[in-house]
A and B are shown apart, each in its own frame.
Chain A
Amino acid sequence: MSLLSLKGVESFYGASQALFGVDLSVEDGEVVALMGRNGMGKTTTISSILGMVKPRGGSINFAGKEIVGQQPHRIAQQGIGLVPEGRRCFPNLTVEENLLVAARGSDWTLARVTELFPRLGERLGQYANTLSGGEQQMLAIGRALMTNPRLLILDEATEGLAPVIRQDIWAALRKLKAAGQSILVVDKTLSELLPVADRCFVLEKGVTVFEGKPDALTAELQDRYLGV
């Protein structure tokens, strides 16, 4: 059984429908890329998984349990770690406090996170709002890892970052993948995303229109679904 599976998920923002039938699945230990142009429903899909937007149709199953309708904190507690769009570190907490504030489980510790991101280790006592964008991104990933999630979800984790920093982030994600971490990742830079991904899903207008291996996503398909 899949770790995460969405079937025919429909979600609304107020009166306007954003998702019209999203299908998606993530197996244990797999890195899955969720793609699509801006406004096609990627972030809404993630919000729906975490219960921040309540789906009105379809089902979302995580680790064998239906999670539609549950409170966001209950869903997260079952093993989903979110790295949200825009990072959303707590600016008035130090780096160390950001990492500890929601920490659960024992596998990921402060020491392991700072080993993965040495820059965070050097800045443990600094307030999060004094960090650079790249460091905040590392902090957001570290904060999610500290909840020891079975599934890590990253929404636009490299957006707006300098190329060198992006490489650091991708290198960290490759390390996580090698360690068997299941990851669902949304990113726009296909050249960096596709080599890491085991499978891809493409959304168009709130519907899943492609599912398959990265190499099945031909240049033609990329142009049709993802080209600007």
Chain B
Amino acid sequence: MTAALIIEQLLNGLQLGVMLFLIAAGLTLIFGVMGFINLAHGSLYMIGAFACAAIAAATGSFWIGLAASLVAAAAAGALMEVAIVRRLYERDHLDQVLATFALILILSEGTRWLFGSFPLYLDIPPLLQGAVPLPGGGQYQLYRLAIIGVGILVAIGLYLLISRTRLGMRIRAGETDREMIAALGVDIRTLYTVVFALGAALAGLAGAMVGALQSVQVGMGEPALILAFVVIVIGGIGSIKGALVGAILVGVVDTMGRFLLPKLVALALPASQATMVGAALASMLIYVVMALILAFRPRGLFAGQG
């Protein structure tokens, strides 16, 4: 086991974490500001991936596809908010979960109807093909590094948006007292639509970027959604900072667990069993981490810190 291999796995974990952050940021923002549980958030991720793959195939340009994924996911999010979600804010969480679960089914079937059951494939753009050398030997895919870079830029951008702009102030004010912010003359309904579209666009961006690494297919959103929920529960619901820390933690722990646990178990068990036991333990690992964190910080790492 070389240093280069460990660095590679750490970067893989970071890259997974960044993808999870893009999905979880919108989810936690929507829950924090509107108190709304959106199970269909994973569908927005899928819509982003399909929009990017379809437009990239039609135009031959990944970058036009990427722009299309942002537009398509934001538009789908805004439409979802105005047509359906808006009617559910005052209802309890069970109604919200039922309605957005129905949305998952509708959007999945709709996508299958449009694009068929076969997965679409998206090529890595020429600009980002190739690899860069790692310290200690070995190589790392440039595209994955670019994803990490985009994630860092989005995190900085969101931080500035939330902490430095009027929109960010209104989002934070809305988290604590919606009625008061409306009584001061702020149109809370438009604010909600903007927040929803912003969260959707981030999920769409994640879907588009991941589309060049995995196949783009119906149902790709739900596994990501479950991990994103783990992320926001660990980070503290409503906190962007929590989503970032939680996402990196989940990404790195999950990736390193899958890499190291089978090797660790092999020290105690015969090789034939070690792989199986190690893999089983690895897939449980993030949930164990979540349980441990919740045992000490029941509301997550950064609960109530915006």
Complex Cα spacing A73 to B306, Å:
24
Contact of B184 among A91, A92, A97, A144 (CB under 8 A): A144
Say whether B184 contacts A82, CB under 8 Å.
yes
Complex Cα spacing A88 to B175, Å:
13
> Per-residue 0/1 for B154-175: is the Cβ within 8 Å of any A Cβ (1 yes, 0 no)?
0000000000001001101101
Complex Cα spacing A102 to B179, Å:
13
Say whether B184 contacts A101, CB under 8 Å.
yes
Contact of B169 among A52, A97, A104, A144 (CB under 8 A): A97
Q: Does B181 touch A at the CB level, under 8 Å?
A: yes
Q: Does B273 touch A at the CB level, under 8 Å?
A: no
Closest 10 CB pairs of A and B: A76-B185, A102-B184, A90-B173, A77-B185, A101-B169, A72-B182, A88-B180, A73-B182, A97-B169, A73-B187
Residue pairs across A and B with Cβ atoms less than 8 A apart, 15 shown, are A71-B189, A72-B179, A73-B185, A76-B183, A76-B184, A76-B185, A77-B185, A82-B183, A88-B180, A90-B172, A90-B173, A92-B304, A97-B172, A101-B170, A102-B181
Closest chain-B Cβ to A47's Cβ sits at a distance in Å of 9
Q: Does A84 touch B at the CB level, under 8 Å?
A: yes
Majority SS of interface residues in chain B?
A: helix
Q: Does A110 touch B at the CB level, under 8 Å?
A: no
Complex Cα spacing A93 to B177, Å:
11
Majority SS of interface residues in chain A?
A: loop
Closest chain-A Cβ to B305's Cβ sits at a distance in Å of 8
Q: Which residues of B contact A100 (CB under 8 A)?
A: 166, 169
Q: Does B290 touch A at the CB level, under 8 Å?
A: no
Complex Cα spacing A104 to B180, Å:
16
User: With A73-B187, A100-B166, A102-B186 in contact, is A92–B172 under 8 Å at CB?
Assistant: yes
Complex Cα spacing A101 to B162, Å:
12
User: With A73-B185, A97-B169, A101-B166 in contact, is A92–B175 under 8 Å at CB?
Assistant: yes
Say whether A73 contacts B175, CB under 8 Å.
no
Q: Which residues of A contact B173 (CB under 8 A)?
A: 90, 93, 101
For residues 45 through 71 of chain A, which have their beta carbon under 8 Å from a beta carbon of chain B? Answer: 50, 52, 71
Complex Cα spacing A88 to B189, Å:
20
4 further A-B contacts with Cβ under 8 Å, apart from A90-B181, A92-B304, are A73-B186, A81-B184, A84-B180, A90-B180
